[in-house]
Amino acid sequence: MLSRRIIACLDVRNGKLAKSVRFVNTKDIGDPVAAARKYYENGIDELVFYDITASSDKRDIMIDVVSKVASQVFIPFSVGGGLRSVEDCTRVRLAGAEKVNVNTAAVANPRLIADVAASLGSQAVVLSMDVLRVGASPATPSGYEIVTHGGRTRTGMDALAWAKKGEQLGAGELVVNSIDADGTRTGYEITLTRMIAENVHIPVIASGGGGAPEHLYEVLTEGKADAALIASILHYGEYRLRDIKEYLHKRGVKVRMV
C-alpha cells in the first residue's frame, strides 16, 4: 500500500530562497540547494520548487539550481513557476526535475497540459490550481473558483470542472491550493480537497493552511488527499519532519519512515 507523501515546498527568487529556512546553518542561509539537501536527509518524500523570479532573463539561474539539486537529492522533485511552453518544461526536466508544475499558463492555454503530457508523459505533469471559495452559482456549481496570480485574478472557472478537465487533458497529479487557507496555518481546506479527490482518478496534493501535524492528519484521512504540501511549518523549525511523520504513523496513516 502506498505511503501518504509529505512534500516540502520551497519558493525561490533569483536562485535564493524567498523565505529563509531556519535550520540551515548561517553560511547557507537562502541557499535552496542546501535546504533541499537537508530536507532530503531528514526524510522528506518529495520537493517542489516554485520559481517566483519576476524577470524572465534570470530564469537560467533556476535551471542551475535544479541541476545542482538533482546531483545530490535522490527523490522526486518538481519545479513550477513561469513554465509557459513544452520547451520550458523540457529544460527543467532535462536539468533533473522529475515533474513540472503548470498553473497560470495552463489556465490561459489548457492545450499546454496535453502537449507537455504527450512530450514528457503524464507522470511528469502536475497541474497546480489556486482555488477560492466563492459559494455555489451557475458559473461555479462546486462553490469554488479558479484564480490566478496568487488569488488576485478571478477566472470565472469552476474548480471541480477544471480539475476534471486537467485530468482529461493528461495531468498526472493535481495540487489543490486553497487561497482561503493559505498562510492561515489553521488547517487545510478539507471540503475542497475531499471534493476534488473523490472526483478524479489521479493523486491529489493538498496545499495551503498546514500549520500543525494534526492538520496533515485531517487532510490525509478526512480530506482524502494522497499527499500534503508543507512550507512554513518546516521552514521555521517549529516541527521536525520526523515528529510529523511519527505523529501520523501513530494515528494509523501510512507514511515512509526514514
Partner 1 sequence: MWWQKVIFICFSTQQLNDSTNSMIAIIDYGAGNLTSVKRALDYLKIPSVISPDPKAVRSAKQIIFPGVGHAAAAMKKLRERGLDGALRDAFAAGTPIMGICLGTQIILSRSEEGDTECLGIIAGTVPRFRLSDPALKVPHMGWDAITVKQKHPVLCDVRPGDEFYFVHSYYPLPSDPSAVIATCGYETEFPAIIGAMNFIGTQFHPEKSGSAGLRILKNFAAWKGAPC
110 is an interface residue for partner 1 by CB under 8 A: no
**Cross-strand bridge partners of residue 142:** none
Which of 121, 150, 156, 237: binder of partner 1 (CB under 8 A)? 121
Whether 130 is catalytic = yes
SS3 79: strand
Whether 180 is catalytic = no
Q: Considering only the stretches 11-19, 156-164, 198-206, 208-216, report the one whose residues sit in contact with partner 1 under the rule CB under 8 A.
A: 198-206
Instruction: Report, in Å, the least distance between residue 122 CB and partner 1.
Output: 8
Residue 158, class by beta-carbon neighbours within 10 Å (0-12 exposed, 13-18 middle, 19+ buried)? Answer: buried
Taking residue 60's Cβ as centre, other Cβ atoms within 10 Å add up to 12
Which of 20, 71, 109, 186: binder of partner 1 (CB under 8 A)? 71
Question: Which of the following is catalytic: 51, 88, 130, 158?
Answer: 130
Which of 93, 194, 215, 235: binder of partner 1 (CB under 8 A)? 93
Cα 185 to chain center, whole Å? 16
Matching residue, cell 529563509:
20
Which of 227, 233, 234, 248: binder of partner 1 (CB under 8 A)? 227
Contacts (CB under 8 A) with partner 1, residues 163-192: 172-173
256 is an interface residue for partner 1 by CB under 8 A: yes
Q: Considering only the stretches 30-38, 110-118, 196-204, 209-217, report the one whose residues sit in contact with partner 1 under the rule CB under 8 A.
A: 196-204
Extract the runs of DSSP E, i.e. beta strands, from the chain: 5-13, 16-17, 46-51, 77-80, 99-102, 125-133, 144-148, 153-158, 173-178, 204-207, 227-230
Which of 27, 74, 138, 152: binder of partner 1 (CB under 8 A)? 74
Distances (CA, A) of 7 to 4, 52, 61, 155, 254: 10, 18, 23, 27, 15
Distances (CA, A) of 149 to 105, 112, 179, 234: 11, 18, 11, 24
- How far is Cα 79 from Cα 122, in angstroms, rounded to an integer? 15
Q: Considering only the stretches 130-138, 140-148, 158-166, 195-203, report the one whose residues sit in contact with partner 1 under the rule CB under 8 A.
A: 195-203
Q: Which residues bind partner 1 (CB under 8 A)?
A: 1-3, 5, 40, 43, 45, 70-72, 74-76, 93-94, 96, 98, 121, 123, 172-173, 201-203, 226-227, 256-258
* Catalytic site positions: 11, 130
